[in-house]
Structure 1
Amino acid sequence: MTTRPELRGSFGMIASTHWLASAAGMSVLERGGNAFDAAVAGGFVLQIVEPHLNGPGGDLPVVLWSAADGRAHVVCGQGPSPAAASLRYFSDLGLTLVPGSGPLAATVPGAFGAWTAMLERWGTWELADVLAFALHYAEDGFPVLPSISRTIGAVGALFTEHWQPSAAAWLDGGAPPAPGSWWRSPAIAATYRRILQHASGSTREQRIAAARDAWYRGFVAEEIESFCRQAWRDTSGRDHAGLLTAEDLARWQPTVEEPVSTPYAGRYQVLKTGPWGQGPVVGQQLRMLDELGLQGEDPLSGRWIHLITEAAKLGYADREAWYGDPVASDLPLAALLSPEYATVRAAQVGEQASLDLRPGSPDGRPPRLAALPEAGSPSPGIGEPTMASSDPQPGPLGENRGDTCHLDVADRWGNLVSATPSGGWLQSSPVIAALGFPLGTRAQMFYLEPDLPNSLRPGVRPRTTLSPSLALRDGEPWLAFGTPGGDQQDQWQLAFFTALVRAGDGADLQAVIDAPMFHTNHFPSSFYPRDAHPGELVVEDRLPAGVLAELRERGHRLTLSGPWTLGRLSAVAREGRVLRAAANPRGAQGYAIGR
């Protein structure tokens, strides 16, 4: 029995982490828009109705399949570090980690650029039309999720004592808005309406480009620079100004790139972003799991979970040593994803859980890891040191783990979209009063050590955790899927994907999403304060007692999470002319719609 039915139809499908975003996207499909129009409309709605998980000042990677092009593309909306960001600058401030909140951790906000670039190249609608849904909720109101209220409550003192513009935007008489209450974001709406005033030109594409110019070379960029000149409290316990300038925004533009493709189980290919995201770690895990014969194991058995977990430990160790912006570093990606390297790494998977962080040596290169806080040390201000839930877990100074949104779309013309917007959430940085939204904190993912692939450098992308997915079956576009969850995204997605493949053709997407989930916190977190918990395996306590006992016998340090707490996966699939969709019941807000 599943929590809800898998949807099947032939017209269009959308699944996302919030029902209002799914409804907006489906409305676009019903009115003749394609998957790209629908994704952009839903994405802008997510900025309004899930403000604790993403915002206009955040980031966006997209993996898409264009039926017209007959191929897949990656749209990169991950902005780079400011030109003034250097190791010396942070050293002079006495910092060994980039703060987890505040303007000093801001990179160029890439979400608006990526959404509009996708709309311009592959969409059919005007920007004003796809923005209409978000403007409606920003101006007329939207229901406050319980998680929004909890998040604001966790940082309420920070707002009132140090981030007054955020207090004005998000507190109701000094208190968080009550769950279920109606809330508006009029300042964000005013910013978008002003953007639309600049959307002039003789063609649709020119109008969209003009709107993007107003953001990156107009009033939005000017307001961001003005804001960053001020100092604000962050996770260091001190006040720091930001480094972003209008010139940083003006020199950036979203890019369209080739996806990284990895084969699995003979029939499948999984498409991810480049190593500026953690996406290729899925390819590494799939290669190892093919070597280890995962598809011959029983799903969710002790050995199944053990093999996936141990492959994740090795893959993520390589992420720590080898991933970063390929524009700035010579990265051995081809070697990391090669079958020869997978054979070597798979041989390191034993019958007992490893407690060591073991990066490999692709092409014979010796790995080097950043110096990080002592393993297992508590996370200041966060409470529980583990990531044991996919809900936001903000600390009192805005540090955060567990974030992000996701949406997937399939249309009747054969297009697929998988998008994972994130960053710029309300607890990340003070609201820019003139714009109504805060900046993101993606620079916290850089290391403040020299000569690492993910070392802080001026004008480069941090190695992000954002990781949408597309899969081909027998060479045909088949599945778009993803989840929020930071470092856990590519663990929950891999567990879902391998189980779906194991279940065979026609497997129920909803049943696989509903199945008990798990992940490891073995490797360093990408988020401040970068802590690790060797051997820790977090599992939903719905797993059978015998499986839990076996995992303990294998040496895994189990943390039992609630029965429905891990992951917020969604997925859409195409099989011939039949479209399917499913969304996660966890959190009681994800929704799939289609016909």
Structure 2
Amino acid sequence: MAASTHWLASATAQSVLERGGNAFDAATAGAFVLHVAEPHLNGPGGDLVALLATATDPTPRVLAGQGHAPRGATIEHFRAEGLDHVPGAGALAAAVPGAVDSWLWLLARLGTWELRDVLAYAVDYAERGVPVVPQLANVLATVEDLFRTHWPASYTLWMPEGRVPGPYDTLVNPVYARTLRRLVAEGAGATREDRIEAARRAWRTGFVAAAVEEASAVPHRHSSGTDHAGVITAADFADFEPCLEPAVTAEFRGTTVAKAGLWSQGPVLLQTLTLLDRFDDARIDPSTALGVHTVAEALKLALADREAHYGHRDPAEADEVLARLLAPRYTEERAGLIGPTASTAFRPGDIGLPSYTPPLTTRRPDVRADGVGEPTVQQTGATRGDTCHIDVVDRWGNIISATPSGGWLQSSPAVPELGFALGTRLQMTWLDPAAPSRLEPGMRPRTTLTPTLLLRDGVPVAALGTPGGDQQDQWQALYLVRTLALGVDPQQAIDAPAFHTTAVPGSFWPRTWTPGGLVIEERADPAVVEELRRRGHALTISGPWSQGRLSVVTRDPDTGVLGAAANPRGAQGYAAGR
């Protein structure tokens, strides 16, 4: 089974499975197709987080494909550039790209296919073209002036005929196709693994790293409205090394939920679920006003803790912080804060360790930050990308959930020789030495990428995730409450009306919040909406099918029966299998 945010990636992954590849071959092939099919949502210059387990070892592990801050990305340098924050667009905000190297690393160790066969799908789509989805056309139209005026390499790459491609036009990227072909050509070696490792060297220390350093060093317009050069170098590429890390887990309704650690927002889901596990099913049913209220208030508490305590830490310190955040006594205290009315306060908890309070800036009416699952382009001209997702489970029981992101075409100028842009993940760091998610060379920025793996009795039973920035774990919480507590079918759980809170500082520029803010799809029961208003929630009604792009694959370990579901919103997501 394969499910993703774009039908071409799902079809690619399923094709690999049909031809005998395993889940890791399929996910890698699908992920490279996502670079081509959803370039406004992810790219080769971005990053990824994945949760996986193998047929021979069901232990959940995290593929940490989040690159770190370059050596030159210091708070002092940004201050010297006249900046009081990390820009949301421009190469100065680039972390070391981790996505491509991590996929190749995973393919060498857990896959079975040759690199040329895995990349053949993406090469073909890049050369022959993919249909421009409407959201991509909208993004390109919004950044046309920026590209023409300030980022000429991007204008040449994405508007080759001197105009913005329209919805369902065919879009090609022959430059990226050449990059992939060159990676394959440079992958010489006696074994499959040797050939993939040779391609990794071409990426890490060869022509890719050299081209990125040269392009980044050219000053260009950032979202700050000022021009800066990036600081990333070829040496920074060589510093990055993908790895598999232990997952962190919590129990909800008898199911183990596995996530990435404190350098992601993954523990937000764990904290939320441990809070909700203290209430009966009727209290947390998202189809009722009481359920929406309870889930939203739990999310606010967990997200406040994210701002106060999450960030890249050494393993021992991270384990201590997580143990305190998930401790039964602390969870009981936090659950007791959920009252009958909406909280409008920012309420991180005291876990007996130093905490951080970020600047709290109320959302301005002239700045859009919908977070509805597609990239948002503010009226100020600044751009924010989003994310994509892919889940795969194979006949043997290998399973993976991956959320690639960053490197959006609107994030920074395209590297002319490579056909892609750098990401801007450093915008999630603070220029404050006291912040746990501060900017610091060699440190991972705290990422919003947060896929999920579910296990019962130690055996994987589902892999899921969604794009959506700060909303990723919020929408996954709704899915898990509906499926694990209320017994709702996976597809029905994805289709059900969704909501999320905005009562927390955003991870992306302009990092604003709305005290008591709650965004809910207009398909929700009007009586529920009215009751939420009476409870004091500052409601925003979004489009009827506007929130979340969740997908999931499932496996019953007793029968071997596989399942999959995907999001209908935007008519892009697709689930396939047999």
Q: Please say if 1:250 is aligned against 2:250.
A: no
- Which amino acid is the alignment partner of residue 100 of structure 1? G
Residue pair 1:56, 1:111 contacting (<8 A) in 2 also:
yes
Written as runs of structure 1 = structure 2, the 5 A alignment for 1:32-47 is 32-47=20-35
Written as runs of structure 1 = structure 2, the 5 A alignment for 1:86-485 is 86-265=74-253, 267-294=254-281, 297-327=284-314, 330-331=317-318, 332-362=321-351, 364-372=352-360, 374-378=361-365, 383-384=367-368, 386-387=369-370, 389-395=372-378, 399-401=382-384, 403-485=386-468
- Which amino acid is the alignment partner of residue 308 of structure 2? A
The equivalent position to 1:69 in structure 2, one of 38, 49, 57, is 57
- Give secondary structure in 2 for the equivalent of 1:587: helix
| Alpha-carbon distance in structure 2 between the residues aligned to 1:336 and 1:398 | 38
Q: Deviations over 1:30-62 (max 9, x none)?
A: 000011110001000000000000001010111
Q: Deviations over 1:270-313 (max 9, x none)?
A: 10111111001100001111123356544410111111100110
Q: Please say if 1:515 is aligned against 2:504.
A: no
Q: Please say if 1:573 is aligned against 2:561.
A: no
TM-score, with structure 1 as normaliser: 0.94
Deviation at 1:397, TM superposition (A): 7.1
- Which amino acid is the alignment partner of residue 446 of structure 2? R
Deviation at 1:378, TM superposition (A): 4.2
TM-score, with structure 2 as normaliser: 0.97
Q: Deviations over 1:438-490 (max 9, x none)?
A: 00000000001112210111110000000111111233211100000000000
Deviation at 1:334, TM superposition (A): 1.4
Deviation at 1:524, TM superposition (A): 0.6
Unaligned stretches of 5+ residues in structure 1: 1-12
Match in the other structure for 1:7: none
Residue pair 1:273, 1:279 contacting (<8 A) in 2 also:
yes
| Alpha-carbon distance in structure 2 between the residues aligned to 1:441 and 1:396 | 19
| Alpha-carbon distance in structure 2 between the residues aligned to 1:244 and 1:452 | 23
Match in the other structure for 1:8: none
| Alpha-carbon distance in structure 2 between the residues aligned to 1:578 and 1:524 | 42
| Alpha-carbon distance in structure 2 between the residues aligned to 1:513 and 1:361 | 34
Unaligned stretches of 5+ residues in structure 2: none
Residue pair 2:55, 2:398 contacting (<8 A) in 1 also:
yes
| Alpha-carbon distance in structure 2 between the residues aligned to 1:21 and 1:173 | 27
| Alpha-carbon distance in structure 2 between the residues aligned to 1:142 and 1:346 | 48
| CA spacing shift, 1:268–1:400, aligned 2, 3 Å | farther
| Alpha-carbon distance in structure 1 between the residues aligned to 2:91 and 2:137 | 23
Residue pair 1:288, 1:342 contacting (<8 A) in 2 also:
yes
- Which amino acid is the alignment partner of residue 594 of structure 1? G
Q: Deviations over 1:378-423 (max 9, x none)?
A: 46xxx43x42521211237763346100011111101111000000
Match in the other structure for 1:3: none
- Give secondary structure in 1 for the equivalent of 2:512: coil
Q: Deviations over 1:179-219 (max 9, x none)?
A: 11111000001111111111111111111111111101111
Deviation at 1:329, TM superposition (A): 9.4
- Which amino acid is the alignment partner of residue 211 of structure 2? E
Q: Deviations over 1:496-537 (max 9, x none)?
A: 111111233xx4211111100000111011101111111110
| Alpha-carbon distance in structure 1 between the residues aligned to 2:61 and 2:116 | 25
Match in the other structure for 1:532: 513
Residue pair 1:370, 1:449 contacting (<8 A) in 2 also:
no
Match in the other structure for 2:523: 542
| Alpha-carbon distance in structure 2 between the residues aligned to 1:475 and 1:518 | 31
Residue pair 2:385, 2:406 contacting (<8 A) in 1 also:
no
- Give secondary structure in 1 for the equivalent of 2:463: strand
Residue pair 1:259, 1:273 contacting (<8 A) in 2 also:
yes
Residue pair 2:43, 2:409 contacting (<8 A) in 1 also:
yes
| Alpha-carbon distance in structure 2 between the residues aligned to 1:523 and 1:402 | 19
Match in the other structure for 1:10: none
Farther off after superposition, 333-342 or 425-434: 333-342
Match in the other structure for 1:24: 12
| Alpha-carbon distance in structure 1 between the residues aligned to 2:191 and 2:494 | 42
The equivalent position to 2:539 in structure 1, one of 555, 558, 564, is 558
Deviation at 1:244, TM superposition (A): 0.4
- Give secondary structure in 2 for the equivalent of 1:214: helix
How many residues were matched structurally? 574
Q: Deviations over 1:237-264 (max 9, x none)?
A: 0101001011111121111100011111
Percent of matched pairs sharing the same residue = 52
| CA spacing shift, 1:396–1:552, aligned 2, 3 Å | closer
- Give secondary structure in 1 for the equivalent of 2:477: helix
Residue pair 2:2, 2:14 contacting (<8 A) in 1 also:
yes
Residue pair 2:464, 2:552 contacting (<8 A) in 1 also:
yes
- Which amino acid is the alignment partner of residue 192 of structure 1? L
Residue pair 1:388, 1:559 contacting (<8 A) in 2 also:
no
| Alpha-carbon distance in structure 2 between the residues aligned to 1:328 and 1:377 | 38
